[in-house]
Amino acid sequence: MPLTLQQLQCVRQVVDSGYSVSRAAEALHTTQPGVSKMLRALEREIGIEIFVRAGNRLTGLTGAGREALALCGRVLQDAAALKQLRLAEPAAGDGELRVGTTHFHARYTLIGVTQRFLAAYPRVKLQFTVGTPALILEQLRQGAIDIGLCTLPDTTPKGIVSLKAYDIDRCLIVPPRHPLLKVRHVSVEEIARWPLITYDNGFTSGSVVQREFQRCGLTPRIVMRAMDATVIKAYVAAGVGIAVIQKKAFSAALDKDLRAIDVSQLFPSSNAMLNLRADHLLKPYAFDFMQLVAPAWSREAVERQIGAPLER
């Protein structure tokens, strides 16, 4: 029996329904026995168990089932893309672009990009999903987003193409009149003497700073971890601690209750990367969005990097 899109939709809906076959059947407008039959037929066809079962109940995904779910999502997404090919040329500016990114890039990089993009494509719906770099790349692998903008985590899923967008340098932020402002050359050792607010380790900015302290044999007193530069800045201004953040996140004109010290020589810069799936069909406006983020990456440059022409 050949695989069907209905079977793949059934797998995804069961997971989305919390492994409840009855709720999945209701969402798919079919019967509970019908859903169970499709799942069993699919498992027989591919030769693996997708779901963990406790009697007649589904309780989770097997290891192979997690990979099968990701593949189901990709096939369904590509099937949806195929349907879009019937659109006439005058409507080529219609559609949706799903971008995964972190709070930092959404707040400090993508506002201007979004304004220019929507001015050029007013009929395209732009959707941002915010999370950690690891989550962004996993969503990209599963086909839940089209483009990811983030630094790279320690491991990158297979099939992801990463293109350097821009460098991220760092500064140290402190309250006004902080003693470190009188230090001529601030060192990592000097910073470690003060209570530190840092990013959660799920973000590259947090792990990069932490690794540099470790390299110097230091254990800073971390009093708080956060996921957003805005939150970090607020607590530094309140005198809770000091913090190493991205230079782009600090504005002398706006952050008047803070002072910045350049520490780019102490902490290595990071690379913001544009990430996409090598086998994912992107609409032309997606390439224009990427070029607004990083002008060097024209559609032709992206195609050369991937090694195969993408949709025009």
Q: What is the DSSP letter of 89?
A: G
Residue type for 177, please?
A: R
pLDDT exceeds cutoff 90 at 309 = no
Residue 194: CATH number of its domain: 3.40.190.10
- Whether 188 and 146 map to the same domain: the answer is no
Weakest mean pLDDT among 79-83, 103-107, 113-117, 156-160: 79-83
Give the per-residue pLDDT at 259. 97
User: For a pLDDT cut of 70, what percent of the chain falls above it?
Assistant: 94
pTM of the predicted structure, to 2 decimals:
0.69
Phi-psi region of 127 (alpha: psi -120 to 50; beta: other; left: phi over 0): beta
- 197 and 283 both lie in a single domain: no
Average pLDDT over residues 261-267: 94
Q: Is residue 311 included in any domain, yes or no?
A: no
pLDDT at 28: 87
Residues 111 and 245 in one domain: no
Is there a single domain that holds both residue 244 and residue 290?
A: no
Please give the pLDDT value at position 294.
96
Please measure the distance between the N-terminal and C-terminal CA atoms of the chain and give it in whole angstroms: 36
Count structural domains, the chain: 3
Residue 45's pLDDT is what? Answer: 87
- 74 and 153 in a single domain? The answer is no
**Residue 193 domain-assigned (yes or no):** yes
The answer on pLDDT for 23 being more than 60 is yes
Are residues 155 and 278 both part of a single domain?
A: yes
Is the same domain home to 212 and 225? yes
Structural domain that includes position 228: 170-268
Which is nearest to 133 in space by CA: 144, 118, 148, 116? 148
What pLDDT shows up at residue 75?
83
For the record, the structure tokens of 228 come out as 């957003």
- Report the CATH number that the domain containing residue 61 is assigned in CATH: 1.10.10.10
Q: Residue 135: inside a domain, yes or no?
A: yes
pLDDT at 93: 63
CA–CA separation, 193 vs 205, rounded Å?
20
- Among residues 40, 55, 83, which one ends one of the domains? 83
